Amino acid sequence: MKSMKLNLVLRYLCSLGAGLFVVLVPLSSGAVPAQAASSTSTSVPMTLVGVSNSVQLANGMSELTLSNGQEVTVPTTVASRVKISTPSNGVQPDTTITGDCGTSDIYIYANSNNSGITGVTGWDVNYQDVGTVYYFQWGVDTTNVTYNRSAQVDWDEDYAQQSWLGSFDDIQGTGHYHSEVIQSDGSPGYVFGTTGVCESASAAVLYSNTDV
């Protein structure tokens, strides 16, 4: 699965521009490169979480309460397909299984014109854990730590495949960058399937492009 995801990312990066050459250097979450590199990447497990309650709100939205206490606002059409965890169906409301339903990924690399970074983020979930995917929420926050400048990108989409990749840019010049998977409201990323919800851990990378 991992080699398949890497190949998908390489094809995606190549599609962004002719002649683009990228070397991916895997890092553990939160690791700091010993020296500036052309790119860095991180891949971390995702967690299968139960949904203990669903409340319909106004304007076609509903609020879900997850087994870990997180509250997620989604379209009611999405909430209506969520399986509510109850003792009667064998899944306790507090069921949280760590690192078994997929992976969340993030890759960042220097722009070709040395004006900042470009990144790719994504997820890959297991059908046997979440069933058929039909919706996801995702986000990336990128900060130029040197100059304290930030940029946020969020995705909120109906989607029907078991993996996804999206790109983002941060045109903030040289400096040290921190980029992580997190939505603008502080929530992690969520992938909704017909039999479960898969939650991202914080897939974070630290990157320096001070030598470009």
Report DSSP state, residue 26. B
> To the nearest whole percent, how much of the chain has pLDDT over 90?
43
User: Phi/psi of residue 83, each to 5°?
Assistant: -85, 115
CB 208 within 8 A of CB 176: yes
Q: Dihedral angle at the C-alpha atoms of 67, 72, 75, 80, nearest 10 degrees?
A: 10
Q: Distance between the two ends of the chain, CA-based, in angstroms? A: 33
Q: Which helix (H) or strand (E) segment is 86 a member of?
A: none
pLDDT digits (tens, 9 = 90+) for 154-179: 999 999 999 999 999 877 788 888 88
Express each pLDDT in 59-113 by its tens digit: 999 999 998 888 999 999 999 999 887 543 333 333 334 457 999 888 888 887 7
Stretch 24-49: mean pLDDT: 58
